[in-house]
């Protein structure tokens, strides 16, 4: 029998999906050839909104839910993600983090603790269907399938029209800048990882995965400016698993990267962190917003380093930043509004839940929502204007 929590979440998903279907989707279609920006869609006032979410790395329990939603034939992740579609699809630019590689044959073994964690290709179809435009792919799991895994994953992303940054099939692809359009604005999406989980880079392919290196990141950010980027967004896979406070590497690198300037203009305009598997604080560092960890948007039954299930492993945030044009030629695009939206992957229902929407519908998620809020604001971001969004 389906328990009451599952009934609540399923009912909420249906309501949100219906509401989303009745609204006009304001999103770009990034189906342009790799390396080329999609046609621009003007945004009111010349500004744009950017939404970003954390690790998508479904474990066996989440794969089972997706299989159930596909009627036992394959996988369907669209119902799992339907609850966040109203936020994601209405952003001018929506970024996700694909923390696994795709593999149709071996995805069923995608449990925590296995030598390799893979996901069925239908996962990227679900991400595209709810409105994401680009995924960062540099992660500690990027080489779980070797060079073939990168090839499959990026081909699956291309097939669905999702752009990508962080891994590459060829040296030319590795050198290309991922340029995206958000309204009238060109946004560069960069992606790097601190580790590849003990795997080695494919022979003769040192460019296959972008590894975390301060000088490389800054050089790539400056190259993105030269290529025409108005805004440079950095997705970085870093941090300590299960630790809700950013570690010293995160703090040091955030300060150094946000301090870097060329011609008086910051080289990086926004930093989005993943990998810690739980939410961490947002903070404005040297005038630039840093999200130390967005948390896992889709995980499942996942054990921490002590072998125990940690409910925080299914908590995350959607970050939403509203950018406004520079007030002078050559100036930076400023964040006029910074927001976070608490999320939960509900293990019982197999759904990603927008916690504010769920609470408005009567679900008892207040303590979870407030716990996420306290962590996110834990480094004083409220004084710099960060608010909890709807």
For residue 154, what are its two tokens?
A: 């990026």
Strand partners, 51: 94, 320
Within 10 Å of residue 219's Cβ, how many Cβ atoms?
12
Distances (CA, A) of 138 to 58, 141, 184, 281, 316: 17, 8, 27, 21, 19
pTM as predicted? 0.88
| pLDDT of 41 | 35
Interatomic CA distance for residues 113 and 106, integer angstroms: 15
The dihedral region occupied by 228, where left means phi > 0, alpha psi between -120 and 50, and beta the remainder, is: left
Contact 4, 358 (CB under 8 A): no
| pLDDT of 108 | 53
Question: pLDDT (tens digit, 9 = 90+) per residue, 32-52?
Answer: 333 333 333 334 458 999 999
Q: Which domain holds residue 168?
A: 4-388
E-state strands within 229-306: 231-237, 261-262, 265-266, 270-274, 282-285, 288-291, 296-298
Number of domains composing the chain: 1
Helix, coil or strand: residue 373: helix
Averaged confidence pLDDT in the chain: 88
Instruction: Give the residues of the chain that fall short of pLDDT 50.
Output: 1-44, 109-115
| pLDDT of 310 | 86
| pLDDT of 106 | 66
| pLDDT of 36 | 39
Q: Strand 163-165 to strand 231-237: parallel, antiparallel, or no bridges (unpaired)?
A: unpaired
Longest dimension (CA), the chain: 63
CATH number at residue 268: 3.60.21.10
Within 10 Å of residue 245's Cβ, how many Cβ atoms?
16
| pLDDT of 191 | 98
Question: pLDDT (tens digit, 9 = 90+) per residue, 72-87?
Answer: 999 999 999 999 999 9
| pLDDT of 184 | 87
């Amino acid at each position: 029998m389906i328990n009451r929590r599952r009934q609540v979440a399923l009912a909420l998903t249906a309501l949100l999906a219906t509401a989303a279907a009745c609204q006009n989707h304001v999103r770009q279609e990034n189906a342009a050839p790799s390396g080329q920006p999609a046609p621009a869609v003007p945004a009111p006032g010349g500004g744009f909104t950017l939404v970003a979410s954390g690790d998508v790395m479904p474990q066996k329990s989440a794969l089972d839910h997706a299989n159930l939603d596909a009627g036992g034939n394959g996988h369907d992740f669209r119902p799992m993600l339907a609850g966040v579609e109203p936020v994601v699809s209405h952003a001018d630019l929506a970024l996700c983090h694909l923390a696994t590689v795709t593999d149709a044959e071996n995805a069923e073994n995608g449990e925590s603790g296995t030598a390799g964690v893979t996901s069925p290709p239908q996962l990227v179809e679900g991400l595209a269907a709810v409105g994401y435009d680009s995924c960062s792919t540099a992660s500690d799991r990027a080489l779980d399938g070797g060079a073939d895994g990168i090839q499959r994953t990026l081909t699956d992303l291309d097939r669905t029209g999702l752009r990508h940054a962080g891994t590459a099939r060829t040296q030319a692809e590795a050198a290309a800048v991922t340029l995206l359009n958000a309204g009238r604005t060109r946004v560069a999406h960069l992606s790097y990882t601190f580790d590849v989980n003990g795997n080695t880079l494919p022979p003769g392919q040192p460019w296959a995965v972008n590894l975390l290196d301060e000088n490389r990141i800054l050089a790539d950010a400056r190259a993105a400016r030269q290529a025409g980027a108005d805004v440079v967004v950095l997705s970085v896979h870093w941090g300590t698993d299960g630790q809700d406070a950013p570690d010293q590497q995160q703090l040091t690198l955030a300060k150094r990267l946000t301090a870097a300037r060329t011609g008086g203009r910051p080289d990086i305009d926004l930093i989005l962190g993943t990998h810690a598997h739980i939410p961490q604080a947002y903070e404005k560092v040297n005038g630039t917003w840093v999200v130390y960890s967005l948390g896992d948007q889709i995980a499942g039954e996942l054990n921490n380093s002590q072998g125990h299930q940690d409910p925080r492993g299914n908590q995350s945030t959607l970050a939403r930043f509203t950018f406004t044009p520079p007030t002078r030629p050559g100036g930076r695009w400023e964040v006029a509004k910074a927001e976070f939206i608490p999320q939960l992957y509900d293990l019982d229902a197999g759904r990603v839940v927008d916690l504010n929407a769920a609470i408005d519908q009567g679900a008892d998620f207040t303590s979870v929502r407030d716990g996420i809020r306290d962590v996110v604001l834990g480094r004083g971001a409220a004084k710099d204007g960060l608010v909890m969004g709807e």
